Amino acid sequence: MLNLCSNGFGSLGSPWAFKQYGESGIPVSELFPHVATCVDDLAVIRSMYAEFSEHTNGNYFLHTGHGLQGRPSMGAWVTYGLGSENQNLPGFVVLDGGLIPPGGLDNFTNGFLPATYQGSIFHAGDKPLANIQRAEKTEALQKGKLDFVRRMDKRLMARMGPVDAIESAIANHELAYRMQVTVPDLADLSGETEATKKLYGLDAKYEHTRSYAVQCLLARRLVERGVRFIELTCPKVAADRWDQHGGLKVGHELNALAVDQPIAGLLKDLKSRGLLDETLVIWAGEFGRTPFSQGKNGRDHNPFGFSIWLAGAGIKGGTVYGATDEYGYKAVENRVSIHDLHATILHLLGVDHTRLTYRFSGRDIRLTDVYGNLIKSVLA
């Protein structure tokens, strides 16, 4: 086992042992004993690099392919390109585990795409959305109000012509009405078997494991209902979200304890139901951490070399691609940019990233801008 230590060069050794798992023999930290059992379904990319070392710009870059706010989120691009199979739920759903990424809701914005493609935030708990139950005493009273609003909308549109903001607001109001039926059914987990709940960790001792387990189980239920793009945010544990400038050991252990079993449960559940082959699962952050210490027991931001993993939907499981230098500081072998990642994600969803464009500000803009190459070695 490697011990937490600082040597003369200021490097910070890992306080956790790594062990090889599965037929592929991919090394996994003891922080993730449950995810380790799924390693043969994962493609691990060890040579990611990004353009920003600050959280807000880094998150914009990861989510939108651009380091400044205002561009469409990847989820908006995907729903714009592919639509959604379920007309009673949003095509792009964000399951808020307690911590919205730095940069806020602009990580999930539609940008210059029509407003119907923006992400919808579902909160943790029995009521993911406010006002999901009607305020009117009877369904007839509510229907009467909605019919009146619909007539007023038609008059306004006849007078003003097509206006995206108005059309999107009308579409969102109509969707909200339909969601009063679909969302309570989505959030009702009483029909799930005890074995399934246990698989995700709904019976775990740690409260944040239980809360994230609910989010992962809701994600599977959204997949089953045809929702096109789902993002889960970090749970709010008693340490910062994987951002351990100090207290690395305690912080990472709390964060890993919260997500390890639920993520493994989601992967195994999707696979057992035949859904993993058509569902792409991505575990990623905006950058990594330095191999040298910050203070006595922390690490600073490192966009020069970090790891992510993908699973399902045409991914070659049991694969490791790329490498950093011997210190884990900079990607040196088969370097992969955020644009490359976006191009590959769209490819796995059946979309050519060079052809998914939207005319704005005098040019055809795309998620990958003018960049992006497929990571062919991780494709099945």
- Examine the pLDDT at 9 and tell me if it is beyond 80: no
Band of pLDDT at residue 165, cut at 50, 70 and 90: confident
The DSSP code for 352 is: -
Mean pLDDT of 1-5: 31
Band of pLDDT at residue 160, cut at 50, 70 and 90: confident
Contact criterion met (CB below 8 Å) for 77 and 111: no
Measured from the Cβ of residue 117, the count of other Cβ atoms closer than 10 Å reads: 25
- Specify the amino acid at residue 335: R
Domain locations in the chain? 1-50+237-380, 75-231
122 strand-pairing partners:
95
Tens-place pLDDT, residues 45-94? 999 999 999 999 999 999 999 999 999 999 999 999 999 999 999 999 99
3-state DSSP assignment of residue 325: coil
The DSSP code for 73 is: P
Q: At what angle do helices 164-187 and 207-224 cross, to 10 degrees?
A: 120
Tens-place pLDDT, residues 304-336? 999 999 999 999 999 999 999 999 999 999 999
Give residue 49's region: left, alpha or beta (phi > 0; psi -120 to 50): beta
What the block records as the tokens of 225 is: 């209902």
Mean pLDDT of 30-42: 98
